[in-house]
Amino acid sequence: MPALLMSLILSVCLVGSEGEPTPAATREPVTMEVDISTGHIILPVYIEEHGPYWFILDTGNQNTAIYSHIAESAGIETKPYGEVGGAGSGSFSVRQAADIEVRLGSDKHPLVFTDPLVTVLPDDARLPDLNGKRIDGFLGASLIEQYMTSIDYGSGELLFTERESYKMPDEARVMEIKIAMGFPYFEGEVIPMLMGKKTKPVVGNFLLDLGATYAIDIKFEKADALGLIDADDPDQQLAGQGMGIDGVMFDLRTAPLAHAKLGGLQLDEPRVLFMTTPGGGPEIENLVGNVGSGLFQSDRVTLDYLGGRLIWEDR
């Protein structure tokens, strides 16, 4: 049975940070190759001059997150933060560290910044290896928001450009994004199909979670209210399995999608994913679903957090 890897995005709302990230001194665009073979954006990163470690660039994280063995090997002092939930039931304790140097890119053209607040995750919460790479951490909004951040899923490149140097492509679609506590989301609606008929619209906010590999999903509670969870619908499909932070596996299913409009853009995505168990998520008002990297496939997307837009180029 195929396993569809869900982002473990832990929805750690680190309020009260001790300052803004300190950006790199260089103002030249920084380009690097990334591994997108699994749908995740995987790249090498140095933490406090230790590494390289494999990290995932993840819009579902507010800030840099590392696993505890990285903090230990780099001699990073940590302190308790609290309990965190995620997919499935259960929770675990996380810690935090302050003013951690993060470096990525080549030795000749590095991008270096200091993250004022870093989440330290327990090693027990690690993802499985992705394409033979052990994932040691995540990069989040504290990096993405500093630049026009472009992900080219076709060429496997990641590009960070200063806002004043970015040139808008001639042919591109634009989706309006909003930011809450560092989390990007779209306003919109989707209409799934059930037994060949349209359901009621699911209207609300959809988290942009490029750390996940699906295209569009709706929350368990919304799918359950529409009758999708227990339906014996021949048009539904088993997409794979996910694993909660409690280690329990659960099914991931899809249903036909009659309509989807997100961020002001009409989409022609044919199916919508839903979990068969309740899950977590950041405290975004009226959060009804998520948008993952599967929506963009081989295209190029540029994230402009300050400008409130996602720029989508067909490749």
What CATH number has the domain bearing residue 126? Answer: 2.40.70.10
Region for residue 294 given its phi and psi (left: phi exceeds 0; alpha: psi -120 to 50; beta: otherwise): alpha
Q: What angle do CA 140, 144, 150 make, to 5 degrees?
A: 120
169 is written with which tokens?
A: 């492509």
**Using one digit for the tens of pLDDT, what is the confidence trace for 215-265?**
999 999 999 999 999 999 999 999 998 766 666 788 999 999 999 999 999
Structural domain includes residue 10: no
Q: Are residues 149 and 226 in the same domain?
A: no
Closest CA to 164 of 20, 309, 29: 29
Quickly count: other Cβ atoms within 10 Å of residue 282's Cβ: 20
Mean pLDDT score, 191-195: 98
Report if residue 7 sits inside a domain. Answer: no
- Provide the domain limits for residue 286: 173-313
* Structural domain total, the chain: 2
Both 115 and 194 in one domain: the answer is no
Strand 237-243 vs strand 249-262: parallel, antiparallel, or unpaired? antiparallel
| Contact (CB, 8 A) for 10 and 121 | yes
- Identify whether 136 is part of a domain: yes
Domain end marker among 165, 190, 224: 165
The pLDDT, as a whole number, for residue 125 is 84
Residue that is last in its domain, among 142, 165, 188? 165
* Entry pTM: 0.89
Closest by CA position to 286, among listed 225, 175, 202: 202
**CA nearest to 259, candidates 269, 246, 244:** 269
Give yes or no for residue 85 having a pLDDT over 80: no
pLDDT band at 294 (very low <50, low <70, confident <90, very high): very high
The mean predicted confidence, pLDDT, of the chain is 89
